[in-house]
Structure formats: C-alpha cells, structure tokens
Copies of this chain bind each other. A is one copy, B any other.
Amino acid sequence: MNTAPKDILTANDLKQTKPRLLVLEQIMGRDAAVSQPDLEKKLGGEVDRVTLYRTLSTFEEKGILHKIIDGAGTANFAICHSNCTSHHHHDEHLHFNCTQCKKVYCLDIKIPSTTIPKNFTMESIQLMASGICENCNIKS
C-alpha cells in the first residue's frame, strides 16, 4: 500500500501544489525520518521556508506525517504508517536517533507495555534510543 503523493493529497482534501508534492517525495523515499533542517536544504531552492513550516504542520494535523522531536530538540518527520486519524497518532514503535548522521529511524519494534502510577493517565508513549546506526557503523 505505497500510496502515491498525489493520492495522499486527494484523500486529505488538499490541493495538489508543488511544495506539497515535493515535501512528500522527499519524505517518502527514505528509510529514516527526515529532519526539518534537512528538508530546508534539499528544498531550499524550490520551496519557501515559511511554506515548508506551514506544509509540515498541515500534514501533521491531517495525520499524514508523524513528527518526532529528537534528543536535540530537532523536529523530524516520517510518513504515518499506522492507523492515524487526525490529531491522534498511534506511532508506538522504537525510534533510533543516530548521533553521527543525525538520522531518525523508525524501527519496527513495539514499545513494551508500561505501567504508570495510578492517577496518571497515559495518552501516548515514545521510546527513543540513540547511538550509531548501521550505515555509520559500516563506514567507521
């Protein structure tokens, strides 16, 4: 079910504009989540920085993209594969943040169920590991 960028836009009542298509292409053709600074570099010549901010937050609200804040506080974006409805993401797998290349990987490992103290209500949970990813391990 690898939906094409244009179909994603259609399915979400969004117009087919160049910035939106470019952003989706960038993010979909990856093994890892893409950081916002990275997107700015790649799309710098084609998409205005402000438009990028607005595009990303639209996509997040619609549940098209999933925003992951890494350990350095940088925003990273990945396609939502799980059953996300708008404003309510279920993306509860392990994220891995490489300290060398800065990539954030969405690994296919479920977060172990965790009990929290009574009186706390849990809405979501995120597990973020950091270290060296496979690519950087090979290179060194």
Decide if A120 touches B96 in the complex (CB within 8 Å): yes
Copies of this subunit: 2
Decide if A128 touches B131 in the complex (CB within 8 Å): no
Q: How many A residues face the partner with a CB closer than 8 A?
A: 36
Residues on B with beta carbons closer than 8 Å to the beta carbon of A119: 133-134, 137-138
Decide if A126 touches B123 in the complex (CB within 8 Å): no
State A124–B97 Cα separation when bound (angstroms): 10
Instruction: Find the B residue at minimum CB distance from A68.
Output: B71
CB of A3 closer than 8 Å to a CB of B: no
Decide if B117 touches A107 in the complex (CB within 8 Å): yes
Decide if A121 touches B126 in the complex (CB within 8 Å): no
Residues on B with beta carbons closer than 8 Å to the beta carbon of A125: 127-130
Partner of A137, one of B99, B120, B127: B120
